[in-house]
Chain A
Amino acid sequence: MKTVIKTTDLTKIYNSSVAPVKAVDKVNLEFGEGEFTAIVGPSGSGKTTFLNLIGGLDKPTEGHVMIDDTDISNMKESKLFDFRLRNIGFVFQSYNLIPVLTAKENVSFIMLLQKESKAKMEKRAVEMLEQVGLSEKVDVRPSKLSGGQQQRVAVARALASKPKFVLADEPTANLDTESAFNLLDIMSRLNKEENITLIFSTHDQRVINRARRVITLVDGAVSKDETFDR
């Protein structure tokens, strides 16, 4: 299995007024193509910080993040923007859709930033919304969608640009059980059928139960790295 992400001694220290806080502590991990991984751990264990570091949203204090053969740890900001745009999909806990755009426009938006043609964008956006079961909500704005539907639009948006991997930060935290299962079904299917690499930070047992690899962080360090045959 091809390695998509590799971290080497990845460390992030925040300087607080009291004492420096080690949010991520010398983490050495590899993520292969098509993995479905859950990063778990109690609050403050460093899950989100780790995701931000491998997603290029934050810079490590020490160590490196390699995406394929590219070290993004010290990449210039302008290059990093472009790198994220072309390689990483994001799903956020609060959906973070653009409220003034329709579902299709939200999904198309990332392709627009990639300067795709209009026809291609629209086709891909509609396809992605069909894949997440929202073919009838293509022209609906987020305010008219339920939380679960909004998160599915966010998943479609994350996948529309065909990223190398998708980072999802507690994607089910704001969803009811039915919506959460629905979302997980879709993500599992996409992971298997399209071989999309998915990495979640979560403490939602529903997600953990679906993941084929579960990495537990405690105080910023890896305490367990388990693999399951699911």
Chain B
Amino acid sequence: MKTLIKISWRNIWRNRTRSIVIIVAIILGLMGGIFGAAMRLALEKQQFEDTIGTQVSHIQIHHPEFIAKPEARFRIPDGLQIASDLSNRDDVIVASPRTVFDGMAATANMNAGVRIKGIEPGIEAQTTGLDELLEEGSYLTENGRIPSILIGNALANKINAAVGSRLVLTFQDIEGEVINASFRVEGIYSLPSRAFEERTVFVKASEVNEAIGDPQAVSEIALVIDNQDEYRNIAAEIQELYPDTRVRHWADLQPALYYSLEVLNEALIWILIIVIMAVSFGLLNTILMSILERARELGMLLAIGMKRAKVFSMIVIETTIIALFGGVIGLISSYGMISILNRTGVPIPGGEGLGELGYASVLYPSLDIDFYFEIVVVLVVFAILASIYPAWKAIRLQPAEAVRQE
């Protein structure tokens, strides 16, 4: 085996230019594929964190009619107790009870439709990290004469509000009566999603519940779960426990995001397969050319008694060495490239516009180290597959004819 490897190694360098070209092709192919994969994963992570982490959470529970009519009157019966029970489950990290309804927010001369979320500030901070999203001001900590409100940066711009501005919210109470309540902007938060920023305001549940006429009101419970891959099972289990509510997981709540992640996952797999297949065909061509050029020598090996299996192995080893050589350099280069880009970030052209859609304008690509090893394994498997045809051609040579080839 040692000698076979030695011969294979030397054979690779018989035609340096050809070998270097295919090795460079492997390196560039891998770098391209890995860059695409890392960007794709960065996008997924950013989207998931922004949308699920800070906005939607893994699972939400509502009154069944709330879905169609998000009004204060559609509250979850015993909502606070349910939230407390759920937060004690092992698979739930935090359960945040909220009062949610639509209304209008107005400053002295501008107004906008908003979704008002009454929250428990401490629990909400654990659920969405809202306290860390503040760009200005503080996080619902003031207990002044006028209740506090947090608004998004986009809404602040739209209605000309700033920290300290007074804002009037208009909404219906549980009886359907229109209520006006005055709030003071305590903080302005910022998120990649401009739409969410423009539409969502946060107030303390205790203050808003008083205003709608039910101090115990809960119209939404947002759950963060321990194992996010189990979201479907956990949602189904909770739904069984509380049949009078409507339990939805993030894929139900954000179907567009779910399908875009699924489609992108598929696309990523296919892109990598196509890259590796292209590289493998390049390898196949290189090895096949080499076999045709070496027919006489291979014929001699068969003539003197080298078994066909050994000749086959020699060709497979040659191909595998090229793939490994290009693969390892390609992966080291890719690792270096991704590490640098992870620090510097990759600006997305037109990033400002992407913010409207909830995408970040700069991505920070990263990949698990396991991914690199998986790529090596896939590459070697494809290289071995690519070597089968040339190796088969080699062992089909008739030694008597091959040794006399010009």
Contact = CB atoms under 8 A, between A and B. Distances in A.
A110 B7 contact: no
Given A81-B306, A84-B303, A113-B306, A96 B403 contact: yes
A96 B294 CA distance: 10
Nearest to B3: A112
Interface stretch (A98-106, A203-211, A214-222): A98-106
A52 B399 CA distance: 9
B158 interface: no
A57 interface: yes
B63 interface: no
B303 A90 contact: yes
B7 A100 contact: yes
A85 interface: yes
A57 B399 contact: yes
Contacts of A112: 3
B404 A101 contact: no
Interface residues of B, number: 23
A85 B296 contact: no
Q: Which of A57, A82, A86, A157 has the most CB of B within 10 A?
A: A57
Contacts of A98: 7, 297, 300-301
A85 B404 CA distance: 19
A78 interface: yes
B305 A86 contact: yes
A216 B289 CA distance: 40
Contacts of B307: 78, 81-82
Interface in A80-133: 81-86, 90, 92-94, 96, 98-101, 109-110, 112-113
A109 B311 CA distance: 13
A94 B10 contact: no
Contacts of B296: 94, 96
B401 to A, nearest CB: 9
Contact of B403 (A83, A85, A94): A94
Interface string B276-310: 00000000000000000000110111111111101
B14 interface: yes
B19 interface: no
A78 B310 CA distance: 12
Contacts of A101: 7, 10
Chain B interface SS verdict (over half)? helix
B400 interface: yes
B10 A93 contact: no
Interface in A185-212: none
A225 interface: no
A175 to B, nearest CB: 17
A68 interface: no
Contact of A99 (B14, B308, B310, B403): B14
A82 B310 CA distance: 13
A90 B300 contact: yes
A73 interface: no
A7 interface: no
Given A58-B400, A94-B403, A112-B3, A100 B303 contact: no
B55 interface: no
B11 interface: yes
A96 B297 contact: yes
A33 B10 CA distance: 39
B305 A96 contact: no
A155 B7 CA distance: 21
A57 B14 contact: no
A110 B305 CA distance: 8
B404 A113 contact: no
A48 interface: yes
Interface string B302-324: 11111110100000000000000
Nearest to A92: B403
Q: Which of B10, B296, B297, B305 has the most CB of A within 10 A?
A: B305
A96 B400 contact: no
Given A96-B296, A96-B297, A84 B7 contact: no
Given A57-B400, A58-B400, A99-B14, A85 B7 contact: no
B274 to A, nearest CB: 34
Contacts of B404: 48, 92-94, 169
A57 B303 CA distance: 7
A90 B304 contact: yes
Nearest to B405: A94
Contacts of B400: 48, 52, 57-58
Interface in A138-196: 157, 169
A48 B90 CA distance: 83
Interface of A: 48, 52, 55, 57-58, 78, 81-86, 90, 92-94, 96, 98-101, 109-110, 112-113, 157, 169
**Closest 9 pairs (CB-CB, A-B):** A85-B305, A100-B10, A96-B300, A57-B400, A84-B305, A52-B400, A58-B400, A81-B305, A92-B403
Given A78-B307, A100-B14, 5 more contacts: A57-B303, A58-B400, A84-B305, A92-B300, A96-B300
Interface of B: 3, 7, 10-11, 13-14, 296-297, 299-308, 310, 399-400, 403-404
